[in-house]
Amino acid sequence: MGTAADQRFNVNLSILFTELPLLERPAAAAAAGFTAVELWWPWVDSPTPEQSELDALKKAIEEAGVQLTGLNFYAGRLPGPDRGALSLPGEESERFRANIDVAADFAQSLGTKALNALYGNRVEGVDPAEQDALALENLVLAARAADRIGAILLIEALNKPESPLYPLVSAPAAVGIVDKVNEATGLDNARFLMDLYHLSMNGEDLPSVIERYAAKTGHVQIADNPGRGAPGTGSLPLKELLDQLTKAGYEGWVGLEYKPGDKPSSEAFEWLPRAARAAR
């Protein structure tokens, strides 16, 4: 697979290089030729880890010489059964709120300009309207925290086959929440996270999604389908789709959020020339 000249790739260290301890992953990404990385919230059981843990990760990223371009807010167990926390009544929502400033401050310390907030699953016995109202309230708080550090807030659609209880399983659904958050805050810093793997799993017309929503997109993530492997392991025309995004004016990062398969992560980038891995 070739690459468009203006595309900037980063590596998601929560799905790639996971055979290594967290603090060794930034250096491994750098050794593979990348200058930028992104992360899900690394402490799945703790929205407010000890400062020493935050400092150790910050040091590992800085010493590796890579840029942390994106960070998830606390979202529960990822990978695992959870799909976010901000729309869940009770303890999980409180844990999300406790995480907001911790995540934003950590992102600010590394110059990170994008924070991703996963919506959360539907809860049996709870009115979906109640969850949606709670979600909007928490997303407004997250958007304000992102604005405080000069970052954007990302809102992502997942896929129904793998996340059947997650309500945002289409591009229009996620973009609708983006619009609601921007209307509620007046900040205009909420953006769509366009994950081409998830959208393809939902059977969406990807060229049409790009045409309609490129202007509202703040980040793109890719994996091939089927299998969620590296580009070229499935049947998605990822080069053509990324080229279309570039032509539509998208200039942001493309996150590599795929599984390395049965080989070390360092060998999962053969499709991407080494010269294309460093941000330009």
Q: Which residues are catalytic?
A: 156, 257
- Four-residue CA torsion sign, 127, 132, 135, 137: negative
Cα(66)–Cα(106) distance, rounded to whole angstroms? 15
Cα(18)–Cα(115) distance, rounded to whole angstroms? 21
